[in-house]
Structure 1
Amino acid sequence: MTKALPVLLGMLMLGACASQVPHSTAPTSAATAPAPVAAASVPADDNLHAVAWTQTALEHDLIYQETFRSAQSQLLGALKDRNWDALPAEDRIAPSKPLKPAVILDIDETVLDNSPYQARLIRKGGEFNEADWAAWCKEERARALPGAVAFTQFAARHGIAVIYISNRAQDLDEATLNNLRKAGLPVSGPDAFLGLGTLLPGCDQVGTEKNCRRQLVSQHYRVLMQFGDQLGDFVTVLSNTPTARAQAMAPYEDWIGSRWFVLPNPTYGSWEPALFNNEWSTPRVQRRQQEIQALHSD
Protein backbone atom coordinates (compact mmCIF):
# COMPACT_ATOMS: atom_id res chain seq x y z
CA MET A 1 0.00 0.00 0.00
CA THR A 2 2.84 2.35 0.91
CA LYS A 3 4.64 1.62 -2.38
CA ALA A 4 1.41 2.11 -4.40
CA LEU A 5 0.69 5.55 -2.95
CA PRO A 6 3.18 7.53 -5.14
CA VAL A 7 1.85 5.82 -8.25
CA LEU A 8 -1.71 6.68 -7.32
CA LEU A 9 -0.81 10.31 -6.62
CA GLY A 10 0.95 10.58 -9.98
CA MET A 11 -2.09 9.32 -11.81
CA LEU A 12 -4.32 11.83 -10.04
CA MET A 13 -1.97 14.70 -10.95
CA LEU A 14 -1.93 13.72 -14.61
CA GLY A 15 -5.70 13.67 -14.68
CA ALA A 16 -5.87 17.14 -13.13
CA CYS A 17 -3.42 18.57 -15.69
CA ALA A 18 -5.40 17.07 -18.57
CA SER A 19 -8.55 18.76 -17.33
CA GLN A 20 -6.80 22.18 -17.48
CA VAL A 21 -5.75 22.01 -21.16
CA PRO A 22 -7.18 25.14 -22.91
CA HIS A 23 -10.19 24.42 -25.13
CA SER A 24 -8.48 25.84 -28.19
CA THR A 25 -5.67 23.28 -27.96
CA ALA A 26 -7.77 20.31 -26.97
CA PRO A 27 -8.27 17.76 -29.74
CA THR A 28 -11.62 17.97 -31.51
CA SER A 29 -13.43 15.55 -33.72
CA ALA A 30 -14.05 16.20 -37.38
CA ALA A 31 -17.71 16.61 -36.59
CA THR A 32 -17.14 19.50 -34.16
CA ALA A 33 -14.20 21.29 -35.88
CA PRO A 34 -15.14 24.62 -37.50
CA ALA A 35 -15.25 24.52 -41.29
CA PRO A 36 -12.50 26.48 -43.05
CA VAL A 37 -13.65 29.76 -44.68
CA ALA A 38 -13.50 29.45 -48.43
CA ALA A 39 -11.76 32.32 -50.19
CA ALA A 40 -14.68 32.63 -52.61
CA SER A 41 -17.03 33.42 -49.72
CA VAL A 42 -15.28 36.80 -49.25
CA PRO A 43 -15.85 38.53 -52.62
CA ALA A 44 -13.28 41.11 -53.62
CA ASP A 45 -14.27 44.66 -54.53
CA ASP A 46 -11.49 46.32 -56.43
CA ASN A 47 -12.71 49.78 -55.45
CA LEU A 48 -12.94 49.23 -51.70
CA HIS A 49 -9.42 50.35 -50.76
CA ALA A 50 -9.56 53.30 -53.16
CA VAL A 51 -12.80 54.64 -51.69
CA ALA A 52 -11.68 53.92 -48.12
CA TRP A 53 -8.48 55.91 -48.77
CA THR A 54 -10.45 58.75 -50.34
CA GLN A 55 -12.83 59.00 -47.39
CA THR A 56 -10.58 58.28 -44.41
CA ALA A 57 -6.91 58.93 -45.20
CA LEU A 58 -5.60 62.26 -43.98
CA GLU A 59 -3.02 62.03 -46.77
CA HIS A 60 -5.84 62.44 -49.30
CA ASP A 61 -6.97 65.73 -47.76
CA LEU A 62 -3.41 67.01 -47.42
CA ILE A 63 -2.71 66.45 -51.13
CA TYR A 64 -5.75 68.54 -52.05
CA GLN A 65 -4.83 71.30 -49.62
CA GLU A 66 -1.25 71.32 -50.85
CA THR A 67 -2.33 71.53 -54.49
CA PHE A 68 -4.81 74.36 -54.06
CA ARG A 69 -2.50 76.32 -51.75
CA SER A 70 0.34 76.04 -54.25
CA ALA A 71 -1.95 77.26 -57.03
CA GLN A 72 -3.19 80.16 -54.93
CA SER A 73 0.37 81.27 -54.17
CA GLN A 74 1.07 81.50 -57.92
CA LEU A 75 -2.24 82.87 -59.14
CA LEU A 76 -1.60 86.61 -58.84
CA GLY A 77 1.76 86.23 -60.56
CA ALA A 78 0.02 84.50 -63.47
CA LEU A 79 -2.58 87.29 -63.52
CA LYS A 80 0.11 89.96 -63.91
CA ASP A 81 1.89 88.10 -66.73
CA ARG A 82 -0.05 89.13 -69.84
CA ASN A 83 1.52 86.32 -71.84
CA TRP A 84 0.42 83.65 -69.37
CA ASP A 85 -2.14 81.21 -70.78
CA ALA A 86 -3.01 77.69 -69.59
CA LEU A 87 -4.81 76.51 -72.72
CA PRO A 88 -3.12 74.23 -75.25
CA ALA A 89 -2.52 75.91 -78.60
CA GLU A 90 -5.27 73.87 -80.27
CA ASP A 91 -7.81 75.13 -77.75
CA ARG A 92 -6.85 78.82 -77.97
CA ILE A 93 -8.99 80.08 -80.87
CA ALA A 94 -9.03 83.78 -79.92
CA PRO A 95 -6.17 86.11 -78.89
CA SER A 96 -5.75 85.95 -75.12
CA LYS A 97 -4.28 89.37 -74.28
CA PRO A 98 -7.40 91.60 -74.31
CA LEU A 99 -9.57 89.02 -72.56
CA LYS A 100 -10.67 88.77 -68.93
CA PRO A 101 -8.85 86.22 -66.74
CA ALA A 102 -10.37 82.90 -65.68
CA VAL A 103 -9.53 79.57 -64.14
CA ILE A 104 -11.08 76.31 -65.34
CA LEU A 105 -11.89 73.52 -62.92
CA ASP A 106 -13.39 70.10 -63.37
CA ILE A 107 -16.11 69.33 -60.82
CA ASP A 108 -16.22 65.69 -59.77
CA GLU A 109 -13.27 64.63 -57.59
CA THR A 110 -11.71 68.04 -58.29
CA VAL A 111 -13.92 70.41 -56.31
CA LEU A 112 -16.79 68.10 -55.24
CA ASP A 113 -16.40 64.79 -53.39
CA ASN A 114 -18.62 62.02 -54.76
CA SER A 115 -17.13 59.23 -52.69
CA PRO A 116 -20.49 58.59 -50.94
CA TYR A 117 -21.87 57.51 -54.33
CA GLN A 118 -18.90 55.18 -54.79
CA ALA A 119 -19.46 53.79 -51.29
CA ARG A 120 -23.06 52.98 -52.20
CA LEU A 121 -21.88 51.02 -55.24
CA ILE A 122 -19.50 49.01 -53.09
CA ARG A 123 -22.18 48.16 -50.54
CA LYS A 124 -24.59 47.08 -53.28
CA GLY A 125 -21.92 45.24 -55.24
CA GLY A 126 -22.82 47.24 -58.34
CA GLU A 127 -21.11 49.39 -60.93
CA PHE A 128 -21.62 52.92 -62.22
CA ASN A 129 -24.87 53.54 -64.07
CA GLU A 130 -26.33 56.80 -65.37
CA ALA A 131 -29.64 56.57 -63.49
CA ASP A 132 -28.09 56.15 -60.04
CA TRP A 133 -25.46 58.78 -60.83
CA ALA A 134 -28.09 61.34 -61.88
CA ALA A 135 -30.10 60.58 -58.73
CA TRP A 136 -27.00 61.21 -56.59
CA CYS A 137 -26.27 64.50 -58.37
CA LYS A 138 -29.86 65.64 -57.79
CA GLU A 139 -29.44 65.10 -54.05
CA GLU A 140 -27.04 68.10 -54.16
CA ARG A 141 -25.13 66.67 -51.19
CA ALA A 142 -21.56 66.36 -52.46
CA ARG A 143 -19.13 68.18 -50.17
CA ALA A 144 -16.33 70.47 -51.30
CA LEU A 145 -12.90 68.91 -51.40
CA PRO A 146 -10.21 70.38 -49.11
CA GLY A 147 -8.75 73.65 -50.38
CA ALA A 148 -11.20 74.07 -53.27
CA VAL A 149 -13.41 76.69 -51.62
CA ALA A 150 -10.51 78.80 -50.38
CA PHE A 151 -8.84 78.82 -53.81
CA THR A 152 -11.92 79.58 -55.88
CA GLN A 153 -13.11 82.28 -53.48
CA PHE A 154 -9.64 83.84 -53.64
CA ALA A 155 -9.79 83.85 -57.44
CA ALA A 156 -13.26 85.40 -57.49
CA ARG A 157 -12.20 88.15 -55.06
CA HIS A 158 -9.42 89.13 -57.45
CA GLY A 159 -11.70 89.43 -60.46
CA ILE A 160 -10.83 86.04 -61.94
CA ALA A 161 -13.79 84.14 -63.38
CA VAL A 162 -14.30 80.60 -62.07
CA ILE A 163 -15.48 78.29 -64.86
CA TYR A 164 -16.48 74.66 -64.27
CA ILE A 165 -16.14 72.26 -67.23
CA SER A 166 -17.67 68.93 -66.31
CA ASN A 167 -18.86 65.76 -67.98
CA ARG A 168 -21.99 65.85 -65.92
CA ALA A 169 -24.89 65.97 -68.37
CA GLN A 170 -26.09 69.46 -69.19
CA ASP A 171 -29.57 68.60 -67.88
CA LEU A 172 -28.00 68.32 -64.42
CA ASP A 173 -27.05 71.98 -64.57
CA GLU A 174 -29.52 73.26 -61.96
CA ALA A 175 -28.69 70.54 -59.43
CA THR A 176 -24.97 70.97 -60.05
CA LEU A 177 -25.01 74.76 -59.65
CA ASN A 178 -27.07 74.39 -56.47
CA ASN A 179 -24.61 71.85 -55.08
CA LEU A 180 -21.65 74.10 -55.88
CA ARG A 181 -23.30 77.01 -54.08
CA LYS A 182 -24.23 74.88 -51.07
CA ALA A 183 -20.62 73.71 -50.81
CA GLY A 184 -19.40 77.31 -50.73
CA LEU A 185 -17.92 77.41 -54.24
CA PRO A 186 -18.43 80.64 -56.22
CA VAL A 187 -20.92 80.53 -59.09
CA SER A 188 -21.20 83.66 -61.20
CA GLY A 189 -24.23 82.42 -63.12
CA PRO A 190 -25.53 79.60 -65.33
CA ASP A 191 -22.67 80.09 -67.81
CA ALA A 192 -20.19 79.08 -65.12
CA PHE A 193 -21.09 75.40 -65.71
CA LEU A 194 -20.29 73.86 -69.10
CA GLY A 195 -21.65 70.32 -68.97
CA LEU A 196 -21.61 67.48 -71.45
CA GLY A 197 -23.77 68.55 -74.36
CA THR A 198 -22.64 72.19 -74.44
CA LEU A 199 -22.24 73.05 -78.12
CA LEU A 200 -19.76 75.26 -79.93
CA PRO A 201 -20.65 75.91 -83.59
CA GLY A 202 -17.92 74.61 -85.87
CA CYS A 203 -16.39 72.33 -83.26
CA ASP A 204 -17.16 68.61 -83.42
CA GLN A 205 -17.56 67.00 -80.03
CA VAL A 206 -15.67 63.69 -79.83
CA GLY A 207 -17.13 61.52 -77.10
CA THR A 208 -16.70 63.18 -73.73
CA GLU A 209 -13.62 65.21 -74.68
CA LYS A 210 -13.67 68.79 -73.39
CA ASN A 211 -11.76 70.54 -76.18
CA CYS A 212 -14.84 72.25 -77.66
CA ARG A 213 -15.81 73.66 -74.28
CA ARG A 214 -12.27 74.86 -73.64
CA GLN A 215 -12.39 76.57 -77.03
CA LEU A 216 -15.67 78.19 -76.04
CA VAL A 217 -14.04 79.56 -72.90
CA SER A 218 -11.10 80.80 -74.98
CA GLN A 219 -13.39 83.15 -76.88
CA HIS A 220 -14.10 85.11 -73.71
CA TYR A 221 -11.25 84.51 -71.27
CA ARG A 222 -7.52 84.22 -70.82
CA VAL A 223 -7.18 81.02 -68.83
CA LEU A 224 -4.62 81.24 -66.04
CA MET A 225 -4.89 77.72 -64.63
CA GLN A 226 -6.70 74.43 -65.13
CA PHE A 227 -7.57 71.80 -62.49
CA GLY A 228 -8.71 68.22 -62.87
CA ASP A 229 -8.35 64.58 -61.96
CA GLN A 230 -8.24 63.23 -65.54
CA LEU A 231 -5.92 63.91 -68.47
CA GLY A 232 -8.97 64.92 -70.51
CA ASP A 233 -9.49 67.85 -68.14
CA PHE A 234 -6.41 69.45 -69.68
CA VAL A 235 -5.76 68.07 -73.15
CA THR A 236 -7.58 66.03 -75.79
CA VAL A 237 -6.84 62.30 -75.68
CA LEU A 238 -8.44 60.70 -78.74
CA SER A 239 -6.78 57.29 -78.44
CA ASN A 240 -7.19 56.12 -74.86
CA THR A 241 -4.24 53.78 -74.55
CA PRO A 242 -1.40 54.05 -72.02
CA THR A 243 1.04 55.05 -74.77
CA ALA A 244 -1.24 57.63 -76.37
CA ARG A 245 -2.07 59.13 -72.99
CA ALA A 246 1.60 59.63 -72.23
CA GLN A 247 2.20 61.17 -75.65
CA ALA A 248 -0.69 63.63 -75.25
CA MET A 249 0.67 64.89 -71.94
CA ALA A 250 4.39 64.94 -72.84
CA PRO A 251 4.46 68.45 -74.42
CA TYR A 252 2.96 69.96 -71.26
CA GLU A 253 4.96 68.32 -68.48
CA ASP A 254 6.53 71.68 -67.59
CA TRP A 255 3.03 73.09 -67.00
CA ILE A 256 2.27 70.65 -64.19
CA GLY A 257 2.23 72.53 -60.90
CA SER A 258 2.17 75.98 -62.52
CA ARG A 259 -0.55 76.12 -65.19
CA TRP A 260 -2.07 72.67 -64.72
CA PHE A 261 -2.87 71.08 -61.36
CA VAL A 262 -3.65 67.36 -61.31
CA LEU A 263 -5.54 65.83 -58.38
CA PRO A 264 -5.65 62.14 -57.35
CA ASN A 265 -8.56 59.87 -58.19
CA PRO A 266 -7.94 56.15 -57.63
CA THR A 267 -11.65 55.28 -57.73
CA TYR A 268 -12.42 55.75 -61.44
CA GLY A 269 -11.20 57.44 -64.59
CA SER A 270 -10.07 56.99 -68.17
CA TRP A 271 -6.87 55.34 -66.92
CA GLU A 272 -8.90 52.21 -66.08
CA PRO A 273 -10.53 51.38 -69.46
CA ALA A 274 -7.18 52.09 -71.12
CA LEU A 275 -6.08 48.80 -69.52
CA PHE A 276 -8.82 46.71 -71.14
CA ASN A 277 -9.06 48.34 -74.57
CA ASN A 278 -11.96 50.57 -73.50
CA GLU A 279 -14.36 47.62 -73.82
CA TRP A 280 -16.85 48.17 -70.99
CA SER A 281 -19.05 45.44 -72.49
CA THR A 282 -16.42 42.88 -71.48
CA PRO A 283 -17.60 40.90 -68.43
CA ARG A 284 -16.41 42.36 -65.15
CA VAL A 285 -14.29 39.34 -64.22
CA GLN A 286 -12.45 39.52 -67.55
CA ARG A 287 -11.83 43.26 -67.23
CA ARG A 288 -10.39 42.60 -63.78
CA GLN A 289 -8.07 39.93 -65.17
CA GLN A 290 -6.81 42.32 -67.87
CA GLU A 291 -6.03 44.92 -65.22
CA ILE A 292 -4.10 42.32 -63.23
CA GLN A 293 -2.13 41.43 -66.35
CA ALA A 294 -1.21 45.11 -66.76
CA LEU A 295 0.59 45.09 -63.41
CA HIS A 296 4.36 44.70 -63.33
CA SER A 297 6.46 43.33 -60.52
CA ASP A 298 9.96 44.26 -61.61
Structure 2
Amino acid sequence: MDLDMAQVRAFVRTAEELHFGRAAGTLGVSQQALSKRIARLESLLGTRLFERGGNGVHLTPAGRRFLPPARQALTAADSAVAAAVGDDRPLRVDVWGHLYAPMRTLAQVAGEAGELVSGHGRDLPSVTNALLRGDIDAAFGRVHPPLHAGLTHRLVRLEPVDVVLGADHPLAAEPALRPDRLRGSVLWAPGALDRLDFLHRFADRFGIRDTGTSVNLGLAHLLGEVAADPRRFTLLPADVPLPEIPGLRSVPLVDPTPLYAWSLLWRTGSGHPGLSGLTAACAAEAGRSRWLEYDPARDWLPEPPSSAAPAA
Protein backbone atom coordinates (compact mmCIF):
# COMPACT_ATOMS: atom_id res chain seq x y z
CA MET A 1 0.00 0.00 0.00
CA ASP A 2 1.50 3.34 -1.10
CA LEU A 3 0.51 6.38 0.96
CA ASP A 4 0.00 9.80 -0.59
CA MET A 5 1.92 12.18 1.69
CA ALA A 6 -0.43 15.07 0.91
CA GLN A 7 -3.26 12.94 2.27
CA VAL A 8 -1.20 11.98 5.32
CA ARG A 9 -0.34 15.64 5.94
CA ALA A 10 -4.03 16.56 5.70
CA PHE A 11 -4.86 13.87 8.25
CA VAL A 12 -2.13 14.92 10.71
CA ARG A 13 -3.06 18.61 10.53
CA THR A 14 -6.75 17.84 11.04
CA ALA A 15 -5.93 15.52 13.93
CA GLU A 16 -3.96 18.36 15.56
CA GLU A 17 -6.62 21.01 14.98
CA LEU A 18 -9.73 18.78 15.31
CA HIS A 19 -11.33 21.31 12.97
CA PHE A 20 -11.46 20.95 9.18
CA GLY A 21 -11.61 24.68 8.47
CA ARG A 22 -8.61 25.58 10.62
CA ALA A 23 -6.60 22.64 9.29
CA ALA A 24 -7.34 23.67 5.72
CA GLY A 25 -6.26 27.23 6.48
CA THR A 26 -2.88 26.17 7.86
CA LEU A 27 -2.25 24.07 4.75
CA GLY A 28 -3.36 26.80 2.35
CA VAL A 29 -6.06 24.65 0.72
CA SER A 30 -9.84 24.80 0.66
CA GLN A 31 -11.83 22.84 3.22
CA GLN A 32 -13.34 20.83 0.36
CA ALA A 33 -9.89 19.84 -0.92
CA LEU A 34 -8.80 18.82 2.58
CA SER A 35 -11.94 16.73 3.09
CA LYS A 36 -11.35 14.94 -0.22
CA ARG A 37 -7.78 14.07 0.75
CA ILE A 38 -8.88 12.58 4.03
CA ALA A 39 -11.76 10.68 2.39
CA ARG A 40 -9.32 9.15 -0.12
CA LEU A 41 -6.95 8.17 2.69
CA GLU A 42 -9.78 6.55 4.64
CA SER A 43 -10.85 4.70 1.51
CA LEU A 44 -7.30 3.44 0.90
CA LEU A 45 -6.94 2.29 4.52
CA GLY A 46 -10.41 0.82 4.59
CA THR A 47 -11.29 2.46 7.90
CA ARG A 48 -12.60 5.75 9.25
CA LEU A 49 -10.05 8.01 10.90
CA PHE A 50 -12.44 10.70 12.15
CA GLU A 51 -15.86 10.84 13.72
CA ARG A 52 -17.79 13.84 12.44
CA GLY A 53 -20.90 14.97 14.26
CA GLY A 54 -22.69 17.61 16.24
CA ASN A 55 -20.03 17.47 18.95
CA GLY A 56 -17.25 18.34 16.52
CA VAL A 57 -14.46 16.27 15.01
CA HIS A 58 -12.84 13.41 16.94
CA LEU A 59 -10.32 10.71 16.11
CA THR A 60 -11.58 7.16 15.90
CA PRO A 61 -9.54 4.42 17.63
CA ALA A 62 -7.94 3.72 14.23
CA GLY A 63 -7.15 7.42 13.85
CA ARG A 64 -5.47 7.54 17.26
CA ARG A 65 -3.33 4.51 16.34
CA PHE A 66 -2.46 5.98 12.95
CA LEU A 67 -1.43 9.45 14.19
CA PRO A 68 2.03 8.76 15.75
CA PRO A 69 3.42 6.76 12.78
CA ALA A 70 1.81 9.25 10.37
CA ARG A 71 3.79 12.06 12.02
CA GLN A 72 6.95 9.99 11.78
CA ALA A 73 6.25 9.33 8.09
CA LEU A 74 5.93 13.07 7.40
CA THR A 75 9.18 13.82 9.18
CA ALA A 76 10.95 11.10 7.20
CA ALA A 77 9.46 12.35 3.93
CA ASP A 78 10.57 15.94 4.59
CA SER A 79 14.07 14.74 5.49
CA ALA A 80 14.24 12.64 2.33
CA VAL A 81 13.31 15.60 0.15
CA ALA A 82 15.90 17.81 1.85
CA ALA A 83 18.57 15.13 1.42
CA ALA A 84 17.80 14.69 -2.27
CA VAL A 85 17.55 18.30 -3.39
CA GLY A 86 19.84 19.87 -0.79
CA ASP A 87 18.84 22.73 1.46
CA ASP A 88 21.49 25.39 1.23
CA ARG A 89 19.03 28.28 1.19
CA PRO A 90 19.09 30.72 4.11
CA LEU A 91 17.02 29.99 7.19
CA ARG A 92 13.77 31.97 6.94
CA VAL A 93 13.09 33.53 10.35
CA ASP A 94 10.02 35.62 11.14
CA VAL A 95 9.24 37.65 14.25
CA TRP A 96 6.28 39.03 16.14
CA GLY A 97 5.87 41.55 18.95
CA HIS A 98 7.34 44.40 16.88
CA LEU A 99 6.90 47.17 19.44
CA TYR A 100 9.18 45.18 21.74
CA ALA A 101 11.82 45.04 18.98
CA PRO A 102 12.60 41.30 18.69
CA MET A 103 15.28 42.03 16.09
CA ARG A 104 17.52 43.42 18.86
CA THR A 105 18.00 39.90 20.18
CA LEU A 106 18.30 38.20 16.81
CA ALA A 107 20.92 40.75 15.76
CA GLN A 108 23.12 39.64 18.67
CA VAL A 109 23.23 36.04 17.44
CA ALA A 110 22.94 36.48 13.68
CA GLY A 111 26.67 36.47 13.07
CA GLU A 112 27.06 33.00 14.59
CA ALA A 113 23.87 31.44 13.24
CA GLY A 114 24.64 31.28 9.53
CA GLU A 115 22.68 33.03 6.80
CA LEU A 116 19.25 34.25 7.88
CA VAL A 117 16.43 35.89 5.95
CA SER A 118 14.00 37.83 8.14
CA GLY A 119 10.28 38.27 7.65
CA HIS A 120 7.71 40.53 9.25
CA GLY A 121 5.08 38.43 11.02
CA ARG A 122 2.12 40.31 12.47
CA ASP A 123 1.28 38.22 15.52
CA LEU A 124 1.67 34.73 16.98
CA PRO A 125 -1.36 33.20 15.15
CA SER A 126 -0.21 34.43 11.73
CA VAL A 127 3.37 33.29 12.37
CA THR A 128 2.04 29.90 13.54
CA ASN A 129 0.15 29.47 10.27
CA ALA A 130 3.21 30.46 8.24
CA LEU A 131 5.32 27.85 10.07
CA LEU A 132 2.73 25.11 9.56
CA ARG A 133 2.45 25.92 5.85
CA GLY A 134 6.24 25.81 5.48
CA ASP A 135 6.44 29.47 4.38
CA ILE A 136 9.07 30.11 7.07
CA ASP A 137 11.47 27.87 9.00
CA ALA A 138 11.50 29.49 12.44
CA ALA A 139 10.07 32.44 14.33
CA PHE A 140 11.03 34.53 17.34
CA GLY A 141 8.81 36.23 19.91
CA ARG A 142 6.85 35.63 23.12
CA VAL A 143 5.12 32.23 23.14
CA HIS A 144 2.00 31.72 25.24
CA PRO A 145 -0.70 29.03 25.37
CA PRO A 146 -2.42 27.56 23.53
CA LEU A 147 0.46 26.53 21.27
CA HIS A 148 -0.18 24.36 18.23
CA ALA A 149 0.73 20.70 18.76
CA GLY A 150 2.82 20.66 15.58
CA LEU A 151 5.27 23.28 16.86
CA THR A 152 8.31 23.20 19.14
CA HIS A 153 9.71 26.15 21.07
CA ARG A 154 12.80 26.91 23.11
CA LEU A 155 13.20 29.72 25.63
CA VAL A 156 15.97 32.09 24.56
CA ARG A 157 15.87 35.19 26.74
CA LEU A 158 14.18 36.60 29.84
CA GLU A 159 14.26 40.38 29.61
CA PRO A 160 13.50 42.81 32.47
CA VAL A 161 10.61 45.17 31.76
CA ASP A 162 10.57 48.90 32.61
CA VAL A 163 7.61 51.22 33.03
CA VAL A 164 7.59 54.14 30.59
CA LEU A 165 5.73 57.33 31.52
CA GLY A 166 5.78 61.06 30.94
CA ALA A 167 7.67 63.61 33.03
CA ASP A 168 4.39 64.96 34.45
CA HIS A 169 3.34 61.58 35.84
CA PRO A 170 3.34 61.65 39.70
CA LEU A 171 5.80 58.74 39.80
CA ALA A 172 8.18 59.98 37.09
CA ALA A 173 10.90 61.05 39.53
CA GLU A 174 11.13 57.68 41.30
CA PRO A 175 14.43 55.77 40.79
CA ALA A 176 12.50 52.45 40.74
CA LEU A 177 8.91 51.35 41.24
CA ARG A 178 7.03 48.32 42.50
CA PRO A 179 4.41 47.28 39.94
CA ASP A 180 1.54 47.63 42.42
CA ARG A 181 2.27 51.37 42.77
CA LEU A 182 0.87 51.79 39.25
CA ARG A 183 -2.66 50.89 40.34
CA GLY A 184 -3.85 54.48 40.22
CA SER A 185 -2.53 55.00 36.67
CA VAL A 186 -3.82 54.07 33.23
CA LEU A 187 -2.09 51.24 31.37
CA TRP A 188 -1.87 52.50 27.78
CA ALA A 189 -1.76 49.63 25.28
CA PRO A 190 -1.22 49.45 21.50
CA GLY A 191 -4.40 47.41 20.99
CA ALA A 192 -7.08 45.51 22.87
CA LEU A 193 -5.69 43.88 26.02
CA ASP A 194 -7.31 40.53 25.21
CA ARG A 195 -4.93 40.32 22.22
CA LEU A 196 -1.86 41.44 24.20
CA ASP A 197 -1.22 38.55 26.54
CA PHE A 198 1.69 39.99 28.53
CA LEU A 199 0.02 43.34 29.26
CA HIS A 200 -3.27 41.62 30.05
CA ARG A 201 -1.62 39.30 32.60
CA PHE A 202 0.39 42.15 34.11
CA ALA A 203 -2.79 44.17 34.68
CA ASP A 204 -4.50 41.19 36.29
CA ARG A 205 -1.56 40.30 38.52
CA PHE A 206 -0.90 43.79 39.88
CA GLY A 207 -4.46 45.10 40.08
CA ILE A 208 -4.30 47.66 37.25
CA ARG A 209 -7.98 48.44 36.69
CA ASP A 210 -7.69 51.48 34.41
CA THR A 211 -6.58 50.71 30.87
CA GLY A 212 -6.71 52.53 27.56
CA THR A 213 -6.21 51.52 23.97
CA SER A 214 -4.23 53.24 21.26
CA VAL A 215 -4.09 52.55 17.55
CA ASN A 216 -0.92 50.60 16.77
CA LEU A 217 0.91 53.10 14.60
CA GLY A 218 4.34 52.28 15.96
CA LEU A 219 6.37 52.84 19.10
CA ALA A 220 6.84 56.60 18.67
CA HIS A 221 3.09 57.15 18.33
CA LEU A 222 2.31 55.03 21.39
CA LEU A 223 4.91 56.72 23.59
CA GLY A 224 3.93 60.17 22.37
CA GLU A 225 0.43 59.50 23.68
CA VAL A 226 1.86 58.25 26.98
CA ALA A 227 4.00 61.37 27.41
CA ALA A 228 1.04 63.65 26.66
CA ASP A 229 -1.10 62.41 29.59
CA PRO A 230 0.20 62.36 33.20
CA ARG A 231 -2.09 59.42 34.08
CA ARG A 232 -0.74 57.01 31.47
CA PHE A 233 2.07 54.46 31.43
CA THR A 234 3.12 51.51 29.30
CA LEU A 235 5.65 48.69 29.57
CA LEU A 236 8.72 47.97 27.46
CA PRO A 237 11.71 45.63 27.76
CA ALA A 238 14.56 47.55 29.32
CA ASP A 239 16.84 47.37 26.27
CA VAL A 240 14.33 48.79 23.75
CA PRO A 241 15.71 52.13 22.47
CA LEU A 242 13.23 54.92 23.20
CA PRO A 243 12.43 57.52 20.54
CA GLU A 244 13.43 61.09 21.26
CA ILE A 245 10.20 62.34 22.82
CA PRO A 246 10.53 65.26 25.27
CA GLY A 247 9.75 64.35 28.87
CA LEU A 248 9.68 60.58 28.40
CA ARG A 249 10.94 58.57 31.38
CA SER A 250 11.84 54.89 31.70
CA VAL A 251 11.82 53.59 35.30
CA PRO A 252 12.91 50.08 36.40
CA LEU A 253 10.29 47.85 38.02
CA VAL A 254 11.33 45.95 41.15
CA ASP A 255 9.87 43.70 43.88
CA PRO A 256 9.11 41.91 41.60
CA THR A 257 10.75 42.67 38.29
CA PRO A 258 8.50 41.58 35.38
CA LEU A 259 10.35 39.52 32.77
CA TYR A 260 9.41 39.26 29.11
CA ALA A 261 10.15 35.79 27.74
CA TRP A 262 11.51 35.51 24.20
CA SER A 263 11.40 32.09 22.52
CA LEU A 264 12.43 30.50 19.26
CA LEU A 265 9.60 28.60 17.56
CA TRP A 266 9.70 26.07 14.72
CA ARG A 267 7.69 23.25 13.16
CA THR A 268 8.25 19.90 14.86
CA GLY A 269 10.40 17.67 12.68
CA SER A 270 11.77 20.51 10.55
CA GLY A 271 14.98 19.40 8.90
CA HIS A 272 16.55 22.73 7.91
CA PRO A 273 20.21 22.56 8.97
CA GLY A 274 20.23 26.23 9.92
CA LEU A 275 18.00 25.57 12.90
CA SER A 276 20.76 23.86 14.87
CA GLY A 277 23.10 26.78 14.21
CA LEU A 278 20.54 29.32 15.33
CA THR A 279 19.60 27.45 18.51
CA ALA A 280 23.28 26.93 19.35
CA ALA A 281 24.03 30.63 18.81
CA CYS A 282 21.11 31.61 21.06
CA ALA A 283 22.28 29.22 23.80
CA ALA A 284 25.84 30.55 23.62
CA GLU A 285 24.74 34.19 23.88
CA ALA A 286 22.33 33.33 26.69
CA GLY A 287 25.27 31.90 28.64
CA ARG A 288 27.52 34.89 27.97
CA SER A 289 24.88 37.53 28.68
CA ARG A 290 23.02 35.70 31.47
CA TRP A 291 19.78 35.88 29.48
CA LEU A 292 18.02 33.07 31.33
CA GLU A 293 18.49 34.07 34.95
CA TYR A 294 15.26 33.83 36.91
CA ASP A 295 14.63 34.09 40.65
CA PRO A 296 10.97 33.59 41.65
CA ALA A 297 11.59 35.56 44.84
CA ARG A 298 12.71 38.57 42.83
CA ASP A 299 11.12 38.24 39.37
CA TRP A 300 7.65 37.79 37.88
CA LEU A 301 6.72 35.79 34.79
CA PRO A 302 3.15 35.15 33.62
CA GLU A 303 4.06 31.47 33.14
CA PRO A 304 7.37 30.55 34.83
CA PRO A 305 9.03 28.20 32.33
CA SER A 306 10.64 25.00 33.58
CA SER A 307 13.68 25.74 31.45
CA ALA A 308 14.37 29.08 33.15
CA ALA A 309 17.60 28.86 35.12
CA PRO A 310 17.20 30.14 38.71
CA ALA A 311 19.72 32.78 39.67
CA ALA A 312 22.63 31.57 41.78
TM-score, length of structure 2 as denominator length: 0.26
Q: Greater CA radius of gyration, 1 or 2?
A: 1
More strand by share: 2
